[in-house]
């Protein structure tokens, strides 16, 4: 790899992590006025950030397999989750508002809104319920983005967020039911 490419990657990572730190200082301000970030750079820096979060989760889990999963697979699953949520907001948001927002704008918003969920994942081995709290904060930040950055009316933004929230809660309840059924089958 030539020196220019190494410098570019290093500068991208440093700049991206500095922006993430600034985001953590004022997440509501960033969600109200979304930055114009190149999608490729966001994926690169975001993937590196997710690898760090996954590593932290693995260390907190005290499992070598969890560390490997966190470094190598969590960035893909985290970015895939953001991509799917972005598709949801892109189609629902543009359909309901007859807007013309780009998928990239929704991806940027979803990624930054998901940062609290990702950070809560890192400490979830110690406090399992914190993942739900991280999701609530992420939903609040995404609502802020819908209202202020995408100019979607508050009642409609609430409905969009609540519909996604309902899907997540339904998935969580189905997972609990499946886990309960598995326990019943094992002990019977």
**Three-state SS annotation for 24-69:** HHCHHHHHHCCCCCCHHHHHHHHHHHHHHHHHHHHHHHCCHHHHHH
Q: Which run of H or of E encompasses 114? A: helix 103-123
Per-residue confidence (pLDDT) for residue 85, from 0 to 100: 94
Per-residue confidence (pLDDT) for residue 119, from 0 to 100: 94
Share of the chain above pLDDT 90, in %: 60
Q: Is residue 93 pLDDT above 80, yes or no?
A: yes
| pLDDT bracket for residue 11 (50, 70, 90) | confident
Q: Is residue 3 pLDDT above 90, yes or no?
A: no
How large is the average pLDDT for residues 63-81? Answer: 94
How large is the average pLDDT for residues 2-25? Answer: 82
CA distances from 134 to 87, 119, 180 (A): 21, 8, 24
Q: Is residue 45 pLDDT above 80, yes or no?
A: yes
Structure letter (DSSP) for residue 150: S
Could you tell me which residue, 177 or 114, shows the higher pLDDT? Answer: 114
Q: Is residue 188 pLDDT above 80, yes or no?
A: no
Task: Provide the mean pLDDT of the chain.
Answer: 90
Lowest mean pLDDT among 9-13, 80-84, 101-105: 9-13
Share of the chain above pLDDT 70, in %: 99
Per-residue confidence (pLDDT) for residue 87, from 0 to 100: 95
Cα 46–Cα 51–Cα 54 angle in degrees, nearest 5: 120
Q: Is residue 1 pLDDT above 70, yes or no?
A: no
């Amino acid at each position: 790899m030539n020196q220019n490419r190494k410098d570019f990657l290093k500068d991208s990572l440093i700049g991206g992590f500095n922006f993430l730190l600034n985001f953590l200082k004022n997440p509501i301000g960033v969600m109200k006025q979304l930055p114009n970030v190149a999608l490729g750079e966001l994926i690169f820096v975001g993937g590196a950030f997710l690898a760090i979060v996954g590593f932290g989760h693995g260390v907190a889990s005290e499992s070598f397999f969890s560390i490997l999963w966190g470094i190598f697979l969590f960035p893909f699953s985290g970015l895939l989750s953001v991509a799917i949520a972005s598709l949801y907001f892109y189609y629902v948001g543009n359909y309901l508002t007859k807007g013309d927002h780009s998928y990239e704008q929704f991806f940027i918003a979803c990624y930054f809104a998901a940062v609290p969920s990702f950070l809560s994942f890192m400490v979830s081995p110690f406090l399992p319920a914190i993942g739900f709290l991280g999701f609530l904060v992420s939903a609040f930040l995404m609502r802020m983005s819908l209202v202020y950055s995408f100019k979607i009316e508050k009642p409609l933004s609430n409905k969009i967020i609540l519909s996604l929230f309902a899907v997540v809660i339904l998935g969580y309840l189905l997972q609990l039911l499946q886990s309960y059924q598995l326990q019943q089958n094992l002990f019977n």
